[in-house]
Amino acid sequence: MLSELKKPLARSFPLSPQRYQRPKTKMLNPDPYPDRETLLRILDHMYDELYVINSQGTCIYVNKACERHYGISPLEIIGQKVWESTQKGYWFPPIGPIVLRNKKTATYEQRTNTGKLMLVTATPVLNEKGKVEMVVENLREISRLDQVKNDLAHTRKLLARYKKEVKQLRSKHFSGQGQIVAKSKAMENTLELANRVAQVDSTVLITGKTGTGKGLLARHLHESSPRQKSPFITVNCAAIPEQLFESELFGYQSGAFTGASTKGKAGLFSLAGKGTLFLDEIAEIPSQLQAKLLHVLQEKRFISIGSNSYEQIDCRILVGTNQNLRALVDQGLFREDLFYRLNTIEIEIPTLAQRPEDIIPLLQHFLNKYNLKFAKDHFFTAEALDILSHHTWPGNVRELEHLVERVVVTSPQQAIGPESLPAVVFPTENLNPDWAPNQAQNLDQALEKVEKLLVQKAQQAHGSSYKVAKALGISQSRAYRLMQKHSSD
Ligand SMILES: Nc1ncnc2c1ncn2[C@@H]1O[C@H](COP(=O)(O)OP(=O)(O)OP(=O)(O)O)[C@@H](O)[C@H]1O
């Protein structure tokens, strides 16, 4: 009897196409609805469960999702009273009877025999007389929702982690730290030597013309050394006034001299701790301090100003210079004994002109860096690359980096062509006629152009107004004014 009930009920109600109210308009296709078989297939492919009972509480339809929820086929449930299914332990509590009684849509949670937690929304279907004809239930697995929530939370965590990593990578990228472009054989050899030397504690003298990357190499030595977790401190010896040199390097005790801070001050040797101290522009160190530095390096200890006890030096010392220290020794401008103390290992960084194979990789490296930094999408045209790879780069990598930053910021087009490049990179014979002094100009105009050329060249090569002033033999304030004047044209 039950099996007799099952089939016709399962397939005849409420899915019979006859029960749908079709539009009565004349159409080419008189039956726009899918046929019965298609409708059944659609319902069986719903992810949520659809469970329908009639006014007597007997199941008249359930789709295939019930197999997932109770481990039984629809034919075993269809024809069964709700309480029967509940008694068999398929689910608890039964929701249909509540809705049959209250005639109102209701939402409850329900547990199934397979341990799933379901969210059930049951809706009464009323006939013309207001009586409940059937209750249609939609069942969604909440345990799955929980899993989706967990997955989402996990994805969010991953996203947060990736964002942090991207931020770290960006800041590393923007500061240029750790990224040494070395495609040429000469630079590869330099790096190879640096990597070997990084492992020992010897003092290293890093030489090379301005802007070749001495500071970058010093940081690389520190970061590749066993001291990488301790501080890396750079001191520009040229920038410290002579009278402050000692207190900066060795520190002072409270009240050591008039004007000294009452708290005293730790010197850079102490601050470097077990890390690395990079004394850049070592040739600029005042002569009486050269003797003191030699003594400290030999003794491996120092006394801060106003103290009467020694402090040990734990840090590794690296020194850098763009001058020929040996020549300075010969001229009596640098102590010979200090030179030999510092020159245990020398690493000389070649100029960019000595390693032209690095020019295009460096251009690409800085283009990526500044495109990322300024959210641009520029690229160099083949013509521009050709001009740039033939430039002599007197200011070395620094000049190249400044040029790329400038053109990325100022170029109106995505493609950076020769018209976007500054005059200094053009070979003299190809000088832009608009730029070069010519017969038709008066003296002031011609001088103005020469001034512009010299200032721009010095700026590309040296960067700061201090160094431009030194190179052009003018005051720093004049250098600054001229740099401002010619920066916009
Ligand atoms: N091989 C390289 N790869 C990537 N960036 C480089 C390279 N060499 C130099 N740079 C970058 O060029 C700029 C100048 O380098 P750095 O300050 O280390 O030069 P320097 O030789 O110490 O200059 P100076 O003698 O004027 O102090 C820095 O921004 C540095 O990161």
Of the residues 108, 141, 174, the one at which a domain ends:
141
In a domain, 81, yes or no: yes
Does residue 191 line the site of ligand 1, with CB under 6 A?
no
In a domain, 146, yes or no: no
Query: Does one domain contain both 279 and 202?
Result: yes
- Residue 172 is predicted with a pLDDT of 53
Q: Which residues contact 272 (CB under 8 A, 6 or more apart)?
A: 230, 231, 232, 233, 314, 315
Report the CATH number that the domain containing residue 436 is assigned in CATH: 1.10.8.60
Calculate how far, in angstroms, residue 449's C-alpha sits from the geometric centre of ligand 1: 30
> What are the pLDDT digits (tens) for 409-443?
999 999 999 889 988 888 764 444 444 555 556 77
Task: Give percent above pLDDT 70 in the chain.
Answer: 86
Q: How far is CA 258 from CA 267, 425, 439, in A?
A: 18, 52, 63
Does residue 350 line the site of ligand 1, with CB under 6 A?
no
Query: Does one domain contain both 316 and 332?
Result: yes
Q: Which domain holds residue 240?
A: 185-348
Predicted structure pTM score: 0.57
Positive/negative CA dihedral, 432, 434, 439, 442? negative
DSSP string, 42-73: HHHT-SSEEEEEETTSBEEEE-THHHHHHSS-
CB 223 within 8 A of CB 178: yes
Query: Does one domain contain both 409 and 471?
Result: yes
Q: Whose CA is nearest to atom 12 of ligand 1?
A: 398
End-to-end CA distance of the chain: 98
Q: Whose CA is nearest to atom 23 of ligand 1?
A: 211
Query: Does one domain contain both 231 and 339?
Result: yes
Question: Of all atoms in ligand 1, which is nearest to the CA of residue 322?
Answer: 25
Query: Does one domain contain both 330 and 380?
Result: no
Does residue 210 line the site of ligand 1, with CB under 6 A?
yes
* 409 closest CA partner among 354, 369, 458, 454: 369
Calculate how far, in angstroms, residue 466's C-alpha sits from the geometric centre of ligand 1: 18
In a domain, 424, yes or no: yes
- Residue 153 is predicted with a pLDDT of 83
Question: Of all atoms in ligand 1, which is nearest to the CA of residue 400?
Answer: 12
* 462 closest CA partner among 398, 366, 403: 398
> What are the pLDDT digits (tens) for 282-309?
999 888 889 988 988 899 988 888 788 8
Calpha distance 200→239 (Å, rounded): 29
Does residue 213 line the site of ligand 1, with CB under 6 A?
yes
* 352 closest CA partner among 400, 402, 293: 400
Query: Does one domain contain both 385 and 320?
Result: no
Mean pLDDT value across the chain: 85
Query: Does one domain contain both 35 and 92?
Result: yes
Neighbours of 325 (CB within 10 A): 21
Does residue 401 line the site of ligand 1, with CB under 6 A?
yes
Looking at the 3D structure of the chain, how many domains does it have? 3
In a domain, 161, yes or no: no
Per DSSP, 32 falls in state -
